[in-house]
Amino acid sequence: MVRIRKLEIRHFRAIKALDWSPSQGVNCLIGPGDSGKSSILDAIDFCLGARRSVSFSDTDFYSLNVNVPITISVTLGCLPETMINLEAYGDFLRGFNLQTAVVEDEPGVGLETVVTLRLQVTGDLEPTWMLYSDRAAQVGTERSLAWKDRSLIAPARIGSFANMNLSWSRNSILNRLTEDRPELSGALAGAARQARENFGAQASAQLRRPLDIVNQTSRDLGVPVGEGAQALLDAHAVSIGDGAIALHNSAGIPLRSLGTGSSRLLVAGLQRMAADAATIALVDEVEYGLEPHRLVRFLDSMGAKDPQQPLQVFITTHSPVALRELSGDQLYVVRNVLDRHLVLAAGTSNDVQSTLRADPEAFLAKQVIVCEGASEVGLIRGLDQFWGFANNDSFLARGCAYVNAGGGTTDNVYNRGSALLGLGYRVLLLVDADKPPTPEVAQAFLDRGGHAMTWGQGRALEDELFASLPDLAIDALIAKALEVNDLERVVGHIQSKSDGRSSLQAIQEHRAAGNGYSEQTRVLLGIASRIRSKGWYKSVTTYQAIAKDIIGPHLPTAQGGFQRIINGIREWVNAG
């Protein structure tokens, strides 16, 4: 059950330097495009794969600088007995501290015994694979890993095309599941002989004329061909190896004809069954070719839900479905910070897990707006639509996602934002001002580089709209309330919150007489419209329509403070 304990990459493609200690189970890498996720998988594959050569080019060197070598070092633990052989590998056995994830050059008490395999490529583009330890390097001792051990640790690459793993080709999963190698070799040799004999018997009739010419010519020239030349399959050209054996269905159709998704799903299941022989799997773009329900089954076959995960899996994804099925301790965000790549563990805090379940799209974005509730989410979506009609870039095109913090305390919104900041996302909070956060919680968020926007003092979103929008917009808000609610609810709320001193009818008659809305009426409408769980507009869809059809068109005539907040949201997104 070999496991990668530490991965070190230097000067490989877009990665100048990366040091990472992955988990023993599923490691799902996410991050913006060109952040190096696929290169990390390739680095593991190139270093550990059972191959004698890999084709490199100048573009594989960081910044195309071929004067600085590519170095990929993989430290392996959970070693089989053959690799903890003092006589063969004693100078290269090292120690790994599972608590601190530090590699020590000598094995020791309380340390796991590990080996480090290093792939290096210099300007001549010729790769070399060698075992590494500091003490061996100091005295110039060199040793490569035996081929049988290279084959033992080689990861399984489950790519877009699974043909290789659906036949008994070298290093395929089926090969690792097969133990009876001598009998299989004999059967293959017999099949090759039989194919040559059968072909000759069938071909002689069709090729009789050219054969007669060959035989006559050979006799005339005295060339010995025995009793006559035959058309047989060339023993060198027709050599049936393990790769000629492939899986077929009951009708004899090769399983390589399966669709991409079905092939990947089957190979993933086989990989699970071959866990004792092939313990590391690499899957780039795990969602490729799979519908959501089959993607879930794929992840299950990789052991994502198992308490004791049978495989060490490295996957990349851009699928919210995949993220929703994973736990925070299986999720890693790849960041490039000051010419150094970091792989940040999302973790299992409530703030991370809640976002992962409710809004996994946020982890696939570059910047995130954390909204106090559904109302704010609808507001942002509607404003984005309104601005999009004026040929502005959409927030989605800017890599922005929304998170619904689900109400509760304002501290909850700030904590959710802090968790995302810690993973390298740009974060903006949109919160009400009627329930101020704990000062220390808010300051901690701001100190980490977060941004927050809120309404006027003591106001919730509804209070702000009725206080800041012009009279024509208030007319539209009341009409919208009557459209999406029973008349009795709107009438009852106004009467209740005014202690019977006002009514919807009185407000409408006052407005019909050509009067504007008084400050007192605006305050009343704000309070009446936001009664908890019975608010007039409490849904994403309703607030999206309000933002697009009412707030956007009337924003130029709204109060200045409100304009600054709304326009500030767009400016923040565009700055990302």
Residue 374 near residue 404 (C-beta atoms within 8 A): yes
Q: How confident is the model at residue 432 (pLDDT cuts 50, 70, 90)?
A: very high
Residue 527 near residue 434 (C-beta atoms within 8 A): no
453, 469, 485 - which closes a domain: 453
Lowest mean pLDDT among 110-114, 387-391, 549-553: 387-391
Give the Cα separation of 192 and 338 in Å (integer): 59
Token couple for 31: 């991050």
Length of the chain: 576
CA distances from 553 to 79, 471, 546 (A): 67, 13, 10
Across 428-434, average pLDDT: 95
Residue 532 DSSP symbol = T
pLDDT at 262: 83
**Which run of H or of E encompasses 566?**
helix 560-575
Is residue 224 predicted with pLDDT exceeding 80? no
> Residue 412 falls within a domain, yes or no?
yes
pLDDT at 34: 80
Q: Which residues contact 109 (CB under 8 A, 6 or more apart)?
A: none
**Which run of H or of E encompasses 575?**
helix 560-575
Give the Cα separation of 90 and 84 in Å (integer): 8
Lowest mean pLDDT among 104-118, 155-169, 443-457: 155-169
Amino acid identity of residue 450, one-letter, is: G
Give the Cα separation of 382 and 388 in Å (integer): 10
- Same domain for 71 and 101, yes or no, is yes
pLDDT in tens, 182-209: 456 666 677 777 776 777 667 667 777 7
Q: How confident is the model at residue 438 (pLDDT cuts 50, 70, 90)?
A: very high
As a 3-state breakdown, the chain gives helix, strand, coil percent values, each rounded to 5, of: 45, 20, 35
pLDDT in tens, 504-561: 999 999 999 999 999 999 999 999 999 887 899 989 999 999 999 999 999 999 999 9
- Same domain for 397 and 534, yes or no, is no
Q: How confident is the model at residue 274 (pLDDT cuts 50, 70, 90)?
A: low
- Same domain for 444 and 465, yes or no, is no
Give the Cα separation of 280 and 176 in Å (integer): 13
Across 73-90, average pLDDT: 93
List the beta bridge partners of residue 451.
428
Is residue 211 predicted with pLDDT exceeding 60? yes
- Same domain for 60 and 148, yes or no, is yes
Residue 550 DSSP symbol = I
- Same domain for 60 and 142, yes or no, is yes
Over pLDDT 70: what percentage of the chain?
90
- Same domain for 105 and 3, yes or no, is yes
Instruction: Work out the end-to-end distance of the chain between its first and last CA atoms, rounded to an integer number of angstroms.
Output: 44
pLDDT in tens, 132-184: 999 999 999 999 999 889 988 999 888 765 566 777 776 676 676 665 554 56
Residue 193 near residue 289 (C-beta atoms within 8 A): no
426, 453, 480 - which closes a domain: 453
- Same domain for 424 and 318, yes or no, is no
> Residue 179 falls within a domain, yes or no?
no
> Residue 255 falls within a domain, yes or no?
no
The rounded mean pLDDT for the chain is 89
pLDDT, greater one: 255 or 559: 559
- Same domain for 472 and 439, yes or no, is no
pLDDT at 1: 81
> Residue 269 falls within a domain, yes or no?
no
- Same domain for 138 and 24, yes or no, is yes
Domain total in the chain: 3
- Same domain for 427 and 542, yes or no, is no
pLDDT at 410: 94
**Which run of H or of E encompasses 491?**
helix 487-497
- For 305, other C-beta atoms within 10 Å of its C-beta total 13
pLDDT at 128: 96
> Residue 152 falls within a domain, yes or no?
yes
Name the range with the highest mean pLDDT among 228-232, 265-269, 566-570.
Answer: 566-570
Q: What is the 3-state secondary structure (H, E, C) of 350-408?
A: HHHHHHHHHCHHHHHCCEEEEECCHHHHHHHHHHHHHHHHCCCCCCCCCCEEEEECCCC
pLDDT at 299: 93
434, 453, 472 - which closes a domain: 453
pLDDT in tens, 310-348: 899 999 999 999 999 999 999 999 999 988 999 999 999
pLDDT at 220: 76
15 is in which domain, residue-wise?
Answer: 1-161+280-348
pLDDT in tens, 341-386: 999 999 999 999 999 999 999 999 999 999 999 999 999 999 999 9
Q: What is the 3-state secondary structure (H, E, C) of 155-191?
A: CEECCCCCHHHHECCCCCHHHHHCCCHHHHHHHHHHH
Burial of 423 (0-12, 13-18, 19+ CB in 10 A): buried
Nearest to 19 by CA among 3, 34, 35, 8: 8
Between vectors from CA 157 to CA 74 and to CA 263, what angle results, nearest 5°?
Answer: 165
Question: Domain holding 104: CATH number?
Answer: 3.40.50.300
Phi, psi of 19 (to 5 degrees): -130, 125
Give the Cα separation of 33 and 402 in Å (integer): 19
Q: How confident is the model at residue 391 (pLDDT cuts 50, 70, 90)?
A: confident
Q: How confident is the model at residue 244 (pLDDT cuts 50, 70, 90)?
A: low
Give the Cα separation of 432 and 457 in Å (integer): 9
**Which run of H or of E encompasses 262?**
helix 260-273
Is residue 276 predicted with pLDDT exceeding 70? no
Is residue 61 predicted with pLDDT exceeding 70? yes
Over pLDDT 90: what percentage of the chain?
68
- Same domain for 511 and 565, yes or no, is yes
Name the range with the highest mean pLDDT among 174-178, 199-203, 388-392, 430-434.
Answer: 430-434
> Residue 53 falls within a domain, yes or no?
yes
Across 55-61, average pLDDT: 96
- For 371, other C-beta atoms within 10 Å of its C-beta total 28
- Same domain for 448 and 465, yes or no, is no
530-556 burial, b at 16+ Cβ within 10 Å, e below that, comes to bbeeebbbbebebbbbbbbbbbbebbe
Is residue 237 predicted with pLDDT exceeding 60? no
374-402 burial, b at 16+ Cβ within 10 Å, e below that, comes to bbbbbbbbbbbbbbeeeeeeebeebbbbb
> Residue 247 falls within a domain, yes or no?
no
> Residue 250 falls within a domain, yes or no?
no
Question: Domain holding 401: CATH number?
Answer: 3.50.50
Token couple for 379: 């507001």
pLDDT at 210: 78
Residue 314 near residue 41 (C-beta atoms within 8 A): yes
pLDDT at 263: 79
Question: Can you give the pTM of this predicted structure?
Answer: 0.84
Amino acid identity of residue 31, one-letter, is: G
Is residue 247 predicted with pLDDT exceeding 90? no
Residue 479 near residue 507 (C-beta atoms within 8 A): no
